[in-house]
Chains A and B, each alone.
Chain A
């Protein structure tokens, strides 16, 4: 097992200050009470119906994400460090995407190779040279963060398309407050419940200039069969905006309308939770029945804001990710505050050779992969597994990158044997509006429940925790 940084305990066994009160509370708590509350939490989740669908197991199945009742705690100081880094990161991502679809200075300066952009399936030539309202592309970003020591945070992935999970951040807090009121009375914890308000303010701030003073915002979902449908309806409800499907919208004279009982009503901002590919059958996949025919014409004409913008998926690419330190410096002239994991791009011959020689110690991921599907964790994989992966890698090296296996930090977690450290990551949600960047303190902590496991994805048996940012 890799020696990892434990967020609760120092190496000498003493408890870090942020966890002091929690440790005392855990010590006072009879173990069966904790277990009882854990089961209670599960019941509540099931009743509310917070489920997600797991793909690739025959029929998609409704499942609960396991919830761990022990919170993950960060001090205010730690959070402020992270907050600055996230703001910087997202500003750089926005500048990069604007540049890619505009002047392309980053390519001319040789910072990022041309073919990585133009040969990328997430690149959308359709919007090249088009302005988007207020020059903002990534309105909602989910930046996956892992921690390796007291001051070092790595970005593991940028999610600039349609990051999900924020409903868990909100529901986890609600449930914790219901189950452990006495624990909350012993701490001062930054609230997260204002996230929907911040999101709505962000979305309204980026309405096209032709919109009315109170712009009409809608949330576009692929529908009830989507794995994140619960989150879509949850958010629409909290935002107080209509939850629309493609068939509820239509485009006339390059303006988007929704069909209401009082006739057509103009739509100014679409918070869309549907991928580029399915957005507009006239522009992208013609077989898409989920999208809105003609919405791209309204978008290009500047009559509607899509959040996030079209074509942001280029930033999710893991090969593009490897250039982020240079991208941050290029646009902002600053040193990156968050680290980027050293990355070997298998598309490059020398990198590939190194990776093939070191498969047993590396993590290899697909450049467009997500959800923890199709990745190799060298140290945790059998010889046979590694050889199988080697063959796959050799057939299409362009599709892969490799990184050293990081020792993700650990947090105390409820497991069968009691409380034990488990590896965690963090997905904070970064909102970018016309006026400013907004980040609700904390985010979604995901935890690998299996001992020693480094994969936190819910599709691979990961769970979630409430994330606390304390005063001071």
Chain B
């Protein structure tokens, strides 16, 4: 297939996935900021949300203060932010329009419908209720797009590239939450945070829709190191780094099988996957959780660059 087509499909999926992630962050932050200060300490949740979204620098170029109004506007509706929910959907729809023939009707309907609906929200909601509805709608739109891709696409390279986009973006998002909140997840004797982090842990899990999953996996109340375990090493948790890399390797293998050749991208992905398989949480804590996550983000980005180089240009 044309490199440009694969590139468009890959980024189409990445942007839809990113939009959903931003909605989850905003939702979790809104919950935290509604709690009494005594429960969450004095940390600024809105600033943390911007950091988790990975766009603090861009944000503070435009605003002086990270408060609800500014952050909501910036992450959800701003046209000045190329990674706001609105921008994500607009780029995704632009990519989809350029590749209409590579999409199934259901996928086109999903993304085009989302884009049309986006206009209804204008420059932002007028109330908290409406904003909550908006966030739910973003998540539903992403689910609908993802579901139509999953259920209607032919299992060929177009599908594999679009899945790669989903998982690379998802791995990056999970790693970013961990990067910003790592200090809350350290084992008891290494704690940097305050005593009342329970709601923070819950918020982290909520951002990756894993709050219920946690209880099913561990069957105990929230323990920070188990939250880290769930998000990093657990294969059965769909947003964990391990699970993302299982999927990335699988899709890259399918591409290699169809094209009859392996390349740097496949080697890099397998390398990361192997490291995730061979390490345990106490090993990660010994090396330093923050360092581990930092390295992962760099390696994940490198895989993105290798995929681009090998297939998309």
Contact = CB atoms under 8 A, between A and B. Distances in A.
A261 B312 contact: yes
Contacts of A262: 259
Interface string A244-264: 110110000000001111100
B2 A237 contact: no
B134 interface: no
Nearest to B109: A47
Nearest to B108: A49
A245 B157 CA distance: 20
B39 to A, nearest CB: 51
B101 A248 contact: no
A267 B100 CA distance: 22
B6 interface: yes
A261 B254 CA distance: 13
Nearest to B6: A261
A422 B157 CA distance: 51
Interface string B1-27: 111111000000000000000000000
A159 interface: no
B101 A237 contact: yes
Contacts of A224: 97-98
A242 to B, nearest CB: 5
Contacts, number: 36
B221 interface: no
B57 interface: no
Contacts of A233: 100-101
Contacts of B255: 261
A259 B259 contact: no
Interface string B290-313: 000000000000000000000111
Contacts of A242: 1-2, 5
A448 interface: no
Interface residues of B, number: 17
Nearest to B7: A261
A236 B101 CA distance: 8
A233 B5 CA distance: 13
Nearest to B311: A261
Nearest to B157: A261
A261 B97 contact: no
A247 B98 CA distance: 14
A243 interface: yes
B10 to A, nearest CB: 10
A248 B100 contact: no
Interface string B245-286: 000000000010001000000000000000000000000000
A267 to B, nearest CB: 11
Given A224-B97, A233-B101, A258 B2 contact: yes
A258 B259 CA distance: 16
Interface in B213-261: 255, 259
Contact of B313 (A237, A244, A258, A259): A259
B3 A260 contact: yes
A247 B97 contact: no
Nearest to B4: A248
A380 to B, nearest CB: 39
A237 B5 CA distance: 13
B159 interface: no
Nearest to B98: A224
Contacts of B167: none
A247 B4 contact: yes
A70 to B, nearest CB: 30
A286 B303 CA distance: 37
A248 B99 CA distance: 13
A259 B101 contact: no
A261 B3 contact: yes
A245 B101 CA distance: 14
A260 B97 contact: no
B101 A260 contact: no
B3 A259 contact: yes
Nearest to A234: B101
B2 A260 contact: yes
A262 B3 CA distance: 8
A242 B100 CA distance: 12
Contacts of A236: 101
Contacts of B3: 248, 259-261
A260 B4 CA distance: 8
A67 to B, nearest CB: 21
Interface in A186-235: 224, 233
A104 to B, nearest CB: 41
Interface centre among A224, A233, A236, A260 (most CB of B within 10 A): A260
A245 B4 contact: yes
A243 B97 CA distance: 13
Nearest to A240: B101
Contacts of B97: 224
Interface in B90-122: 97-98, 100-101
A241 B158 CA distance: 15
Contacts of B100: 233
Given A224-B98, A233-B100, A233-B101, A248 B2 contact: yes
Nearest to B260: A262
Contacts of A258: 2
B46 interface: no
Contact of B259 (A244, A247, A261): A261
Interface string B38-50: 0000000000000
A248 B2 CA distance: 7
B161 interface: yes
Contact of B1 (A245, A247, A260): A260
Contacts of A237: 101
A275 to B, nearest CB: 21
Contacts of A243: 101
A427 B157 CA distance: 40
Contacts of A259: 2-4, 313
A14 B313 CA distance: 65
A220 to B, nearest CB: 12
10 contacts: A224-B98, A233-B101, A236-B101, A244-B2, A248-B3, A258-B2, A259-B2, A261-B3, A261-B157, A261-B161
Interface of B: 1-6, 97-98, 100-101, 157, 161, 255, 259, 311-313
Interface of A: 224, 233, 236-237, 242-245, 247-248, 258-262
Given A261-B3, A261-B6, A261-B157, 15 more contacts: A224-B97, A224-B98, A242-B1, A242-B2, A243-B101, A244-B2, A244-B4, A247-B4, A248-B4, A259-B4, A259-B313, A261-B1, A261-B161, A261-B255, A261-B311
Q: What 10 pairs between A and B have smallest CB-CB spacing?
A: A259-B3, A261-B311, A237-B101, A261-B6, A262-B259, A248-B4, A242-B2, A261-B1, A248-B2, A233-B101
